[in-house]
């Protein structure tokens, strides 16, 4: 069975954008691959030094995934900082990569630009190398990523290939796994991406009132002044959400609303109220599951302990092979 490594930084509760962008895909992958889900707590330090919430964030990160159906019997959740072999591999890999190569990573450029960082820390600059170690420590064959993250997998392949060329074959060359449906969900403010930092997200853990308040404030069509004005559905977050979260049985009703909206025969309020119904049908089972999971003492700790032990065993084997190949043993 082919092996997959995916993961997240523990920065808080997960939202609908995470579900569309990664969780929905993980639900499919867990039945066909050996999946490791990395809780990348060391990566979270690259842009945030305040760690007071990190334990709670880790708990929410795992609880939210379990609540949508990720099965710890099928996947291995592992804690990055509890696998010292990962960081040792990153040090070794850093000897194979130039500073100028890292500076060409598109997502690193984006982070520096978005956060207005002129003088990045060594950890931030080299985080793609640690990411390569995350992937290669368990000899992952596939890495689920969006198109914007494919450059990280390409760097990982370069590192693996260079190591193999210099020291002998140790690593497989991992491939990016980019599902066709993987995408981003716009924020409720109409911004291109739902994001915690932009405060434009609907969370998987939001209660009915929070969902209602957020949907009723949602950005729609700025060119539409009156409910009788013809409206645009392209790029309209309300209809994007309806397309993503309506059931198969609800698709005909969504199509009907689209036609009416374009003709100026339905107002934003009515469509938003229907979206609230759709989201509530999706979120209510998740909320219920979260309550059940949170009532289980030490659940997250037990899941992490078991998954981390499995990942670390693989990493120890890999590091031993690396050390022998280099001549450090």
124 within a domain of the structure (yes/no): yes
Check whether 100 has a pLDDT greater than 60. Answer: yes
CA atoms of 44 and 98, how far apart (whole Å): 23
Inter-residue contact 286 to 204 (CB < 8 Å): yes
Q: Which domain holds residue 218?
A: 208-291
CA atoms of 188 and 218, how far apart (whole Å): 5
Same domain, yes or no, for 307 and 244? Answer: no
Same domain, yes or no, for 287 and 302? Answer: no
Same domain, yes or no, for 238 and 161? Answer: no
Quick: pLDDT tens for 3-44. Answer: 999 999 999 899 999 999 899 999 999 999 999 999 999 999
Would you state the structure tokens that stand for residue 204, as one six-digit string?
Answer: 């998987």
Would you state the structure tokens that stand for residue 3, as one six-digit string?
Answer: 């092996």
Same domain, yes or no, for 40 and 128? Answer: yes
In the prediction, which pLDDT does 184 show?
77
Same domain, yes or no, for 253 and 129? Answer: no
Quick: pLDDT tens for 245-299. Answer: 999 999 999 999 999 999 999 999 999 999 999 999 999 999 999 999 999 999 9
Structural domains in the chain (count): 2
Full-model pTM: 0.93
In the prediction, which pLDDT does 148 show?
73
Longest dimension (CA), the chain: 76
Inter-residue contact 1 to 138 (CB < 8 Å): no
Same domain, yes or no, for 286 and 317? Answer: no
In the prediction, which pLDDT does 215 show?
98
In the prediction, which pLDDT does 180 show?
67
CATH number of the domain to which 11 belongs: 3.40.50.620
Same domain, yes or no, for 123 and 238? Answer: no
In the prediction, which pLDDT does 182 show?
53
The CA-CA-CA angle for residues 93, 157, 193, to 5°, reads 100
Q: What letters, b where the CB count within 10 A reaches 16 and e where it falls short, cover 189-198?
A: beeeebeeee
CATH number of the domain to which 228 belongs: 1.10.240.10
């Amino acid at each position: 069975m082919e092996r997959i490594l995916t993961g997240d930084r523990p920065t808080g509760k997960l939202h609908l954008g995470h579900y569309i962008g990664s969780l929905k895909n993980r639900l499919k992958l867990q039945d066909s691959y050996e999946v490791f889900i990395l809780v990348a707590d060391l990566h979270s330090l690259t842009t945030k030094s305040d760690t007071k919430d990190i334990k709670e964030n880790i708990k929410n990160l795992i609880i939210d995934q379990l609540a949508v159906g990720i099965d710890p019997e099928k996947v291995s959740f592992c804690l990055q900082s509890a696998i010292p072999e990962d960081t040792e591999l990153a040090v070794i890999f850093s000897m194979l990569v130039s500073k100028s190569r890292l500076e060409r990573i598109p997502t690193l450029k984006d982070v520096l630009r978005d956060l207005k960082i002129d003088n990045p820390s060594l950890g931030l600059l080299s985080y793609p190398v640690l990411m390569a170690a995350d992937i290669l420590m368990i000899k992952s064959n596939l890495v689920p990523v969006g198109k914007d993250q494919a450059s990280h997998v390409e760097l990982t392949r370069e590192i693996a290939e260079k190591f193999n060329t210099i020291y002998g074959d140790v690593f497989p060359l991992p491939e990016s796994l980019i599902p066709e449906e993987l995408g981003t969900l716009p924020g409720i403010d109409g911004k291109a991406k739902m994001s915690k930092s932009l405060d434009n997200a609907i969370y998987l853990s939001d209660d009915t009132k929070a969902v209602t308040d957020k949907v009723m404030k949602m950005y729609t069509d700025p060119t539409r002044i009156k409910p009788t004005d013809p409206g645009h559905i392209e790029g309209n977050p309300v209809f994007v959400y309806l397309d993503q979260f309506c059931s198969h049985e609800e698709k005909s009703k969504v199509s009907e609303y689209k036609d009416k909206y374009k003709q100026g025969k339905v107002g934003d309020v009515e469509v938003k109220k229907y979206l609230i119904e759709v989201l509530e049908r999706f979120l209510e089972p998740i909320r219920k599951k979260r309550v059940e999971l949170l009532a289980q003492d030490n659940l997250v700790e037990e899941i992490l302990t078991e998954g981390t032990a499995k990942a670390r065993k693989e990493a120890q084997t890999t590091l031993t092979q690396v050390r022998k190949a280099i001549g450090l043993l």
